[in-house]
Amino acid sequence: MQQAERGKEQQSTEKRPAKHPLYNGGTKRLQFQFPEAAIHSLRDLAVRTGQPTIAGVLREALKVYTWIVNEQEQGRAIFSIDRQTRRRREILPLLQMPSRSTEQD
Protein backbone atom coordinates (compact mmCIF):
# COMPACT_ATOMS: atom_id res chain seq x y z
CA MET A 1 0.00 0.00 0.00
CA GLN A 2 2.80 2.42 0.88
CA GLN A 3 4.50 1.71 -2.42
CA ALA A 4 1.33 2.64 -4.31
CA GLU A 5 1.06 5.89 -2.35
CA ARG A 6 4.68 6.73 -3.14
CA GLY A 7 3.98 6.10 -6.82
CA LYS A 8 1.02 8.49 -6.72
CA GLU A 9 3.17 11.08 -4.92
CA GLN A 10 5.85 10.83 -7.58
CA GLN A 11 3.29 11.16 -10.38
CA SER A 12 1.68 14.24 -8.85
CA THR A 13 5.01 15.98 -8.26
CA GLU A 14 6.17 15.20 -11.80
CA LYS A 15 3.24 17.17 -13.22
CA ARG A 16 4.10 20.32 -11.26
CA PRO A 17 6.30 22.94 -12.92
CA ALA A 18 9.83 22.60 -11.59
CA LYS A 19 10.79 25.27 -9.04
CA HIS A 20 7.75 27.44 -9.72
CA PRO A 21 7.88 30.47 -7.38
CA LEU A 22 4.22 30.07 -6.35
CA TYR A 23 4.58 26.46 -5.22
CA ASN A 24 6.22 25.75 -1.91
CA GLY A 25 4.27 22.67 -0.77
CA GLY A 26 1.80 22.05 2.03
CA THR A 27 -1.70 23.40 2.53
CA LYS A 28 -2.32 27.14 2.70
CA ARG A 29 -5.31 29.18 3.76
CA LEU A 30 -6.09 31.89 1.21
CA GLN A 31 -8.41 34.86 1.48
CA PHE A 32 -10.02 36.53 -1.51
CA GLN A 33 -12.20 39.56 -2.01
CA PHE A 34 -14.98 39.07 -4.55
CA PRO A 35 -17.59 41.52 -5.83
CA GLU A 36 -21.10 40.83 -4.56
CA ALA A 37 -22.16 39.49 -7.98
CA ALA A 38 -19.38 36.89 -7.87
CA ILE A 39 -20.40 35.81 -4.36
CA HIS A 40 -23.97 35.42 -5.62
CA SER A 41 -22.73 33.30 -8.55
CA LEU A 42 -20.63 31.12 -6.23
CA ARG A 43 -23.58 30.57 -3.87
CA ASP A 44 -25.84 29.77 -6.82
CA LEU A 45 -23.32 27.25 -8.13
CA ALA A 46 -23.04 25.67 -4.67
CA VAL A 47 -26.80 25.15 -4.56
CA ARG A 48 -27.03 23.90 -8.15
CA THR A 49 -24.17 21.43 -7.72
CA GLY A 50 -24.88 20.33 -4.16
CA GLN A 51 -21.60 21.65 -2.84
CA PRO A 52 -21.97 22.48 0.86
CA THR A 53 -19.48 25.37 0.73
CA ILE A 54 -18.17 28.05 -1.58
CA ALA A 55 -14.70 26.61 -0.96
CA GLY A 56 -15.97 23.32 -2.45
CA VAL A 57 -17.17 25.17 -5.54
CA LEU A 58 -13.76 26.82 -5.90
CA ARG A 59 -11.93 23.49 -5.46
CA GLU A 60 -14.07 21.92 -8.21
CA ALA A 61 -13.52 24.95 -10.43
CA LEU A 62 -9.78 24.57 -9.96
CA LYS A 63 -10.00 20.97 -11.15
CA VAL A 64 -11.80 22.09 -14.32
CA TYR A 65 -9.35 24.95 -14.89
CA THR A 66 -6.42 22.54 -14.49
CA TRP A 67 -8.00 20.16 -17.01
CA ILE A 68 -8.50 23.02 -19.49
CA VAL A 69 -4.86 24.11 -19.17
CA ASN A 70 -3.65 20.52 -19.61
CA GLU A 71 -5.80 20.02 -22.71
CA GLN A 72 -4.69 23.31 -24.26
CA GLU A 73 -1.03 22.56 -23.55
CA GLN A 74 -1.48 19.36 -25.57
CA GLY A 75 -2.95 21.31 -28.48
CA ARG A 76 -6.48 19.99 -28.00
CA ALA A 77 -9.72 21.85 -28.69
CA ILE A 78 -12.65 21.82 -26.29
CA PHE A 79 -16.20 21.46 -27.64
CA SER A 80 -19.74 21.75 -26.38
CA ILE A 81 -22.22 19.37 -28.05
CA ASP A 82 -25.98 19.93 -28.06
CA ARG A 83 -27.47 16.53 -27.12
CA GLN A 84 -30.62 17.01 -29.19
CA THR A 85 -29.23 18.41 -32.42
CA ARG A 86 -25.70 16.93 -32.11
CA ARG A 87 -24.39 20.31 -33.22
CA ARG A 88 -21.07 21.13 -31.70
CA ARG A 89 -19.41 24.40 -31.01
CA GLU A 90 -15.83 24.96 -30.09
CA ILE A 91 -15.35 26.72 -26.82
CA LEU A 92 -12.85 29.47 -27.39
CA PRO A 93 -9.59 29.08 -25.51
CA LEU A 94 -9.94 30.63 -22.09
CA LEU A 95 -6.21 31.07 -21.79
CA GLN A 96 -3.47 32.69 -23.72
CA MET A 97 -0.88 29.96 -23.40
CA PRO A 98 2.70 31.19 -23.60
CA SER A 99 4.67 29.75 -26.46
CA ARG A 100 7.28 27.16 -25.56
CA SER A 101 10.06 29.29 -27.06
CA THR A 102 9.12 32.25 -24.84
CA GLU A 103 9.21 30.07 -21.70
CA GLN A 104 12.75 28.87 -22.45
CA ASP A 105 14.20 32.35 -23.12
pLDDT in tens, the chain (105 residues): 445 544 444 444 456 555 666 677 777 888 999 999 999 999 999 999 999 999 999 999 999 989 988 988 898 988 999 999 999 998 876 667 666 544 444
Query: H-helix or E-strand containing 50?
Result: none
Whole-number Å distance between alpha carbons of 13 and 7: 10
User: Whole-model pTM above 0.75?
Assistant: no
Using a 10 angstrom Cβ sphere, with 0-12 exposed, 13-18 middle and 19 or more buried, the burial of residue 56 is middle
